């Protein structure tokens, strides 16, 4: 787990560094020790320093850098905020890392067509705030939304709690400007809801983890901001009733804007961390948010509460926005709270078809017990996306070895239900060896050949997704 | 327009016919004159007979046929209902046509996960009826929904009036089983809302017009059936107010489930055809449907009516389902009504970004006047998708020549607003020559190379989309 296969690193020769500096300006090309270290890691805490860090300020800068690197056989790795969980922005082969921190402008917001165009370095939250002021809404909300960037969101096809109702990043990208290996820019997609000319290159690029081209412009779809929302907390003493509740809510024709769960260990971790007043003896807590038209909302939240109660839960509807916010604060504090349980957090984001969760979750816990590991499960039960966390001492080789086996079994469990090894985090380097478990040799071959169409020399974010 | 570039047709040698018959059974392989003619055309009325028609009854049949054809250099063209408007299912190079009429089973409906799996020959309406009985909903509603097939819908990424609220076919496809050129099957996608492992091959296949592989299984996403719906008719005397109305509706945070328009000539064609009581002197009629929770709906339909009135329209809310149905009947009768206006209907489905419509629509009409052609415009104003119809006498060479020039200008107009040459119909053969207007040489090259990954010998639905 979390090891980087030793690969030959490709140094950037002095003459290429000079070309880069001449092409885009000396101050945008960094190569001292400290800068290289600063751009060497992501949220996995794995680290490989690039040979050179480039901070472009325009699309033209990116074009020049890609052209120079490609002609000189230098690997190129794009990086947003470095908040990824699978090493996608780690320059495993060295070379040039392109950081988008200065390409952070919202270029325009078109209210009439409900679209906005941003540079890839714009922080997701910044876009959300800007459009909400105008009564519009950009739904995708990865946990890192306050610091991650839209470039990274597109590369990873980011999700979040709200995606159960609103869909993932893929559903909100209308157009992409992408620098391809030749240094040319391609413009794919349209700001129209319908456009069926040619292959859907835009969606091939979304979720490609920066391995096909480098995004320089992103046009997003916006929707009307929901007029109101309400939150219900439901406390369960058994898991089966939770599964039944989820089924019943969808059967009632209600599409919640969030449907989150935390298990007992997660509840206790949160309580140790922040004293939110959650019941420590509960088996599972569900947090359910419904949004929409105020009148429909009133009906729907009452119906949700009734369904939870019918399934044996102790139910509370948050009376004020303040009360609701406190519940969501507890949910958001899960990540830091869980991190306190061990030195090293292994955070896997597997997916099950929703209806199999009541059966799969106990089997997931069994894996933790079998390998004698501290395991915390929480996540997006409405879309079957479970964050299975092992909290280990990364310095204990025996514990690490057990965790490696456990992670493999976790993936196998998800795939045995025809789920996925990743719902939000992507594959990057940490899940690369598991691609072959999810995909057949023919499927892998097609993906590798597509990679080669876009990157004949394998220099664009190489070493990721088992596509080399 | 509507000409087929003369290409060398590839005959199927006797020995290959024998292989096919031995592999899947004699009765599934047709090659008499009549059968070849029956499968030679689509809704363009263009016609090229295949050399052999194959009617597979299982996935294995399809695999065997593709393997035999590919090994023997025989072109393969898949066909659903043959209801396409761009010649996508016409076997321009002859060879083998695969018709899916016997692979027409709904394989299962999984209510708990809100998904269903179908064979490609299932008629869209049949699926919709089956899931609506269980309180579920499959939104995509191309005009041909009563006879088109899901295989064709996926190949063309079909749209329809409801897509303004619910999105196009792309948004409802979870998994695809696809026979690739080797005869192997690949299984792409997951029935989970989130899955970010590997490239998004499923969405590359959606809208690929049968040029990458042959679908044998399709798993669709379902949503809760809307609880209620209401329709408003709004009659306008000028176009500008129509554009303003559309803007105001979306600004009010209302997402209509259909927002259709017809211009004066369309209104009169419909009245000549069926006497629906529409005002013949109106410049434009809007039909607006809102669906959802009954309480929210009451508020929203009142608000929509108010917005229309504020913009000078004469407004009527349908009081009963029966009244609403009559309005939609008028809308649906547009296609046959317009067909009566001339021998040959040229139906282009261009797209404009929504907000440019009030400016673009008069310019569209100008093109009709300039070339002295009867022109009828209607379509999905909510998503900017306009059906621009020229009604001509296809036997008059002068009129045909004028229409050809007019169509080219129509596409140029759409592209000048960064719209698209097609919102629903696809490219096929009739729009192939216009691909280069919408895409740059680099973009065309990437698409051609991707085609070659899936089809190294250019035998899978060849001659389409300018990708040869």
Q: Are residues B255 and B300 in the same domain?
A: yes
What residue of B is the nearest CA neighbor of A210? B199
State residue A389's pLDDT score: 93
Q: Cα-atom radius of gyration of chain B, to the nearest Å?
A: 23
CATH code: domain of residue B220: 3.30.465.10
Residue B433 lies in a domain: no
The DSSP symbol for B26 reads G
Tell me: the pLDDT tens digits for B435-454?
999 999 999 999 999 999 99
Q: Which residue reads 């306190």 in tokens? A: A340
Mean pLDDT along residues A310-337: 92
Q: Are residues B304 and B353 in the same domain?
A: no
Residue A390 lies in a domain: yes
Tally A–B CB contacts below 8 A: 264
Which residue in the set A199, A247, A443 is minimally distant from B186, CB to CB?
A: A443
Indicate yes or no: CB of A253 within 8 angstroms of CB of B224: yes
Chain A CB contacts of B162 below 8 Å: none
Which residue in the set A114, A197, A440 is minimally distant from B427, CB to CB?
A: A197
Indicate yes or no: CB of A423 within 8 angstroms of CB of B195: yes
Which residue in the set B159, B296, B450 is minimally distant from A295, CB to CB?
A: B296
Q: Are residues B327 and B358 in the same domain?
A: no
Tell me: the pLDDT tens digits for A146-174?
999 999 999 999 999 999 999 999 999 99
Q: Residue B78 to residues A297, B131, B140, B166, B453: CA-CA distances in angstroms?
A: 46, 26, 21, 28, 19
State how beta strands B344-351 and B385-392 pair: antiparallel
Tell me: the pLDDT tens digits for B148-168?
999 999 999 999 999 999 999
- Does pLDDT of B405 surpass 80? yes
The SS3 assignment for A207 reads coil
CATH code: domain of residue A382: 3.30.70.2740
Q: Which two tokens stand for residue A100?
A: 């988008």
Residue B463 lies in a domain: no
Greater confidence (B300 vs B338) lies with B300
Chain B CB contacts of A182 below 8 Å: 442
State residue A27's pLDDT score: 98
Number of domains in chain B: 4
By CB neighbour count within 10 A (0-12 exposed, 13-18 middle, 19+ buried), where does A3 fall? exposed
Indicate yes or no: CB of A354 within 8 angstroms of CB of B440: no
Indicate yes or no: CB of B196 within 8 angstroms of CB of A188: no
Q: What distance in Å separates residue B186's CA from the closest CA in chain A?
A: 6
Chain B CB contacts of A383 below 8 Å: 192-194
- Does pLDDT of B3 surpass 80? no
Indicate yes or no: CB of B440 within 8 angstroms of CB of A255: no
Which residue in the set A164, A227, A295 is minimally distant from B193, CB to CB?
A: A164
Q: What distance in Å separates residue B34's CA from the closest CA in chain A?
A: 33
Mean pLDDT along residues B198-223: 98
Q: What distance in Å separates residue B237's CA from the closest CA in chain A?
A: 23
- Does pLDDT of A1 surpass 60? no
Q: Are residues A118 and A219 in the same domain?
A: yes
State residue B172's pLDDT score: 98
Can you tell me the distance from the alpha carbon of A264 to that of B233, in angstroms, rounded to the nearest whole number?
55
Which residue in the set B163, B449, B450 is minimally distant from A193, CB to CB?
A: B163
Q: Are residues B181 and B116 in the same domain?
A: yes
Can you name the residues that pair with A438 across neighbouring β-strands?
none
What residue of A is the nearest CA neighbor of B415? A190
Residue B431 lies in a domain: no
Chain B CB contacts of A295 below 8 Å: 293, 295-296, 299
Can you tell me the distance from the alpha carbon of B85 to that of B447, in angstroms, rounded to the nearest whole number?
22
Chain B CB contacts of A250 below 8 Å: 112, 114, 224
- Best residue of A114, A196, A229, A302 to probe chain B, by most B CBs closer than 10 Å: A196
Residue where a domain terminates, one of B285, B308, B335:
B335
Backbone angles phi, psi at B220, to 5 degrees: -110, 150
Tell me: the pLDDT tens digits for A227-250?
999 999 999 999 889 989 999 999
Residue B162 lies in a domain: yes
Q: What distance in Å separates residue B198's CA from the closest CA in chain A?
A: 7
Indicate yes or no: CB of A180 within 8 angstroms of CB of B446: yes
Strands in A112-190 per DSSP E: 115-118, 136-137, 173-179, 185-189
State residue A112's pLDDT score: 93
Can you tell me the distance from the alpha carbon of A20 to that of A98, in angstroms, rounded to the nearest whole number?
12
- Of A276-290, A323-337, B145-159, B200-214, the poorest mean pLDDT is in A323-337
Residue B311 lies in a domain: yes
Can you tell me the distance from the alpha carbon of B111 to that of B126, in angstroms, rounded to the nearest whole number?
17
Q: What distance in Å separates residue A159's CA from the closest CA in chain B?
A: 7
Can you tell me the distance from the alpha carbon of A211 to that of A213, in angstroms, rounded to the nearest whole number?
6
Chain B CB contacts of A111 below 8 Å: 251
Residue A130's CB: how many other CB atoms inside 10 A?
16
Chain B CB contacts of A440 below 8 Å: 186-187
Indicate yes or no: CB of A204 within 8 angstroms of CB of B208: no
Q: What distance in Å separates residue A307's CA from the closest CA in chain B?
A: 16
As a whole number, the mean pLDDT across chain B is 95
Indicate yes or no: CB of B446 within 8 angstroms of CB of A440: no
Residue B445 lies in a domain: no
Residue A50 lies in a domain: yes
Which residue in the set A196, A199, A419 is minimally distant from B422, CB to CB?
A: A196
Residue where a domain terminates, one of A179, A198, A224:
A224
State residue A2's pLDDT score: 60
Can you tell me the distance from the alpha carbon of B449 to that of B455, in angstroms, rounded to the nearest whole number?
10
Q: Are residues B21 and B61 in the same domain?
A: yes
Mean pLDDT along residues B40-44: 93
Nearest to B189 by CA among B200, B205, B178: B200
How many H helices and E strands in chain A? 16, 18
State residue B190's pLDDT score: 96
State residue B2's pLDDT score: 60
- Quick one: pLDDT band at residue B7, thresholds 50, 70, 90? confident
Mean pLDDT along residues A299-308: 97
Can you name the residues that pair with A351 across neighbouring β-strands?
A385, A420
Q: What DSSP string runs through B76-96?
A: EEEESSS--SS-TT--TTBSE
Q: Which domain holds residue B321?
A: 228-335
Greater confidence (A8 vs B196) lies with B196
Q: Are residues A201 and A238 in the same domain?
A: no
Q: Are residues A76 and A150 in the same domain?
A: no
State how beta strands B258-263 and A136-137 pair: unpaired
Q: What DSSP string runs through B378-434?
A: EEEGGGTEEEEEEEE-TT-HHHHHHHHHHHHHHHHHHHHTT-BS-SSS--TTTTGGG
State residue A323's pLDDT score: 93
Nearest to A213 by CA among A77, A16, A93, A49: A77
Indicate yes or no: CB of A425 within 8 angstroms of CB of B196: yes
What residue of B is the nearest CA neighbor of A156? B196
- First-to-last alpha carbon distance for chain A, in angstroms, is 20
- Does pLDDT of A342 surpass 90? no
Nearest to B421 by CA among B438, B441, B443: B438
Indicate yes or no: CB of B224 within 8 angstroms of CB of A250: yes
What residue of B is the nearest CA neighbor of A226? B253
CB A83 within 8 A of CB A43: yes
Q: Are residues B235 and B147 in the same domain?
A: no
Q: Are residues B218 and B263 in the same domain?
A: no
Buried b (16+ CB within 10 A) or exposed e, B108-126: ebebebbbbbbbbbbbbeb
State residue B336's pLDDT score: 84
Q: Are residues A363 and A322 in the same domain?
A: no
Buried b (16+ CB within 10 A) or exposed e, A170-190: bbbbbbbbbbbbebbbbbbbb
State residue B1's pLDDT score: 52
Mean pLDDT along residues A258-262: 95
Indicate yes or no: CB of A200 within 8 angstroms of CB of B204: yes
CB A459 within 8 A of CB A76: yes
Indicate yes or no: CB of A196 within 8 angstroms of CB of B167: no
Can you name the residues that pair with B98 across neighbouring β-strands?
B54, B78
Q: What distance in Å separates residue B465's CA from the closest CA in chain A?
A: 7
CATH code: domain of residue A58: 3.30.43.10
Q: What distance in Å separates residue B26's CA from the closest CA in chain A?
A: 30
Residue where a domain terminates, one of B50, B80, B102:
B102
- Best residue of B67, B180, B193 to probe chain A, by most A CBs closer than 10 Å: B193
Q: Are residues A277 and A290 in the same domain?
A: yes
């Amino acid at each position: 787990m979390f090891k980087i296969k030793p690969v030959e690193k490709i140094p950037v020769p002095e003459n290429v560094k000079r070309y880069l500096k001449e092409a885009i300006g000396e101050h945008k090309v960094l190569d001292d020790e400290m800068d290289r270290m600063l751009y060497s890691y992501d949220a996995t805490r794995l680290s490989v320093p690039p040979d050179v860090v480039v901070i472009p300020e325009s699309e033209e800068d990116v074009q020049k850098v890609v052209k120079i690197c490609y002609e000189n056989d230098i690997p190129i790795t794009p990086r947003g905020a470095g908040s990824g969980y699978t090493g996608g922005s780690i320059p495993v082969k060295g070379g040039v890392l392109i950081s988008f921190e200065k390409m952070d402008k919202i270029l325009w917001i078109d209210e009439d067509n409900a679209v906005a165009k941003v540079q890839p370095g714009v922080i997701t939250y910044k876009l959300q705030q800007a459009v909400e002021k105008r009564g519009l809404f950009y739904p995708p909300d990865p946990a890192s939304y306050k610091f991650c960037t839209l470039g990274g969101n597109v590369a990873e096809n980011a999700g979040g709690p709200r995606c159960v109702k609103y869909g993932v990043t893929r559903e909100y990208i209308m157009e992409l400007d992408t620098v391809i290996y030749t240094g040319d820019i391609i413009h794919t997609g349209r700001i129209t809801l319908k456009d069926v000319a040619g292959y859907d290159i835009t969606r091939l690029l979304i979720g490609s983890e920066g391995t096909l081209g480098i995004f320089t412009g992103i046009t997003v779809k916006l929707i009307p901001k929901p007029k109101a929302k309400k939150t219900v907390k439901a406390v369960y003493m058994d898991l089966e009733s939770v599964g039944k509740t989820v089924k019943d809510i969808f059967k009632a024709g209600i599409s919640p804007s969030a449907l989150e769960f935390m298990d007992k260990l997660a509840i206790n971790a949160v309580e140790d961390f922040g004293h939110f007043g959650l019941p420590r003896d509960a088996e599972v807590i569900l947090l359910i948010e419904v949004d929409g038209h105020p009148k429909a909302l009133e009906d729907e939240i009452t119906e949700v509460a009734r369904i939870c109660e019918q399934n044996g839960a102790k139910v509370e509807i948050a009376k004020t926005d303040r009360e609701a916010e406190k519940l969501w604060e507890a949910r958001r504090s899960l990540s830091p709270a869980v991190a306190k349980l061990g030195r090293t957090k292994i955070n896997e984001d597997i997916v099950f078809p929703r209806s199999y969760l009541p059966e799969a979750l106990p089997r997931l816990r069994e894996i933790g017990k079998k390998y004698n590991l501290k395991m915390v499960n929480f996540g997006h039960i409405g879309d079957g996306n479970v964050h299975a966390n092992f909290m280990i001492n990364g310095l204990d080789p025996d514990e690490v070895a057990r965790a490696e086996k456990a992670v493999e079994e976790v993936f196998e469990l998800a795939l045995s239900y025809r789920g996925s090894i990743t719902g939000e985090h992507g594959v990057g380097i940490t899940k690369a060896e598991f691609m072959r478990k999810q995909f057949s040799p023919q499927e892998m071959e097609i993906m590798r050949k597509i990679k080669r169409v876009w990157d004949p020399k394998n220099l664009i974010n190489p070493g990721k997704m088992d596509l080399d």
